[in-house]
Structure 1
Amino acid sequence: MKILRELIEAGDPLVQQAVEALRQYHAAQSAGAPAKDIERLRCNAESLFQAVNEYQRCSLGGLPSTRH
């Protein structure tokens, strides 16, 4: 379990970025920001959460979702 905890903690800054991006997205929605800004924030949050998912998958020995 120690190794799993270390892997999760190593990805913590990325998780924090993703959560902050989601907060910004929701704040923009609540504030009635222009649709263009809301969509940009949504895409940013989604991209960061996908990066978190990919990092965790690879860290736990899984294959990346795309192969280049």
Structure 2
Amino acid sequence: MMRKTPQFPIFGHPMYMDAVDAMKLFHEVQAMCKAAEQIKRLRLFAEAQFQAVNDYQLKASGGYAGHSH
């Protein structure tokens, strides 16, 4: 029996869109050569948003998504 790969409508999901917006903001601020601390903060925020999306997808598919805090 073939195992069916679960499909996730994640690309239109608000959680995913928030992560994309955070990454866009990071790149915009980086292009404006703003303060290094501000750029670092935005990068960390964008990375955390995408990590949350990944954890959500793993948990929804029954995979291991690490510890919930």
Q: CA deviation at 1:39?
A: 0.4
User: Residue 60 of structure 2 aligns to which amino acid in structure 1?
Assistant: S
Structure 1 equivalent of residue 31 of structure 2: 30
Match in the other structure for 1:62: 63
Amino-acid identity (%) = 38
Structure of larger gyration radius: 2
Which sections of structure 1, spanning at least 5 residues, go unmatched? none
The residue matched to 1:8 in structure 2 has which SS? coil
Q: Rate the CA distance shift 1:14–1:67 in 2: closer, same or farther, 3 A.
A: closer
Gaps of 5+ in 2: none
Equivalent AA in structure 2 for residue 58 of structure 1: K
Higher relative contact order (CA 8 A, sep 6+): 1
| Cα separation, partners in 2 of 1:24 and 1:62, compared to 1, 3 Å | same
Runs of 4+ with deviation above 2 angstroms:
none
1:48 matched to 2:43: no
Aligned mates of 1:52, 1:8 — CA distance in 2: 12
Q: Give 1:58 deviation, angstroms.
A: 0.5
Deviations 1:14-45 (A, max 9, x none): 10000000000000110011001000000000
Amino acid at match of 2:65: P
Instruction: Name the CA distance, whole Å, in 2 between partners of 1:34 and 1:67.
Output: 32
Task: Choose between structure 1 and 2: higher helix proportion.
Answer: 1
